[in-house]
Amino acid sequence: MEGVEPVRPVEPVIPVIDRIIHPVMNRLKSEGFEGGGSGNSPEREVPSPDRRSNLAIEELERAFELLESSNPGFSEIFIKCLVTQLQR
């Protein structure tokens, strides 16, 4: 039909990835972190993260995206379980 544009595939909106995962990963990459905590200790940050840490964080971010694309809703379940565990 003339004047009608073809329907373009829309990329799925992944709110948990966009609202939580990406911002956390970006913060870790920009601010850095120092590992080795017990999980109950306060977060310790260093001014300049090393390149290997950033690559690992990017790989984790891609893993979340891949998992979410093959199992929609998984990231939301993961975050809910994580929050529940942290509240204990």
Tell me how far apart the alpha carbons of residues 72 and 45 are, in angstroms, rounded to a whole number: 33
What confidence score (pLDDT) does residue 38 get? 47
**Domains along the chain with CATH numbers:** 15-30+49-86 (1.10.12)
The 8-class DSSP code of residue 32 comes to: -
Taking only the tens of pLDDT, the chain with its 88 residues reads: 566 666 655 555 568 899 999 999 999 888 876 655 445 545 555 445 588 889 999 999 999 999 999 999 999 999 999 999 999 9
pLDDT digits (tens, 9 = 90+) for 53-72: 899 999 999 999 999 999 99
Q: What pLDDT was estimated at residue 47?
A: 45
User: What is residue 17's DSSP assignment?
Assistant: I
- For the chain, what's the residue count? 88
Q: Where are the alpha helices (DSSP H) in 5-73?
A: 15-16, 22-31, 51-70
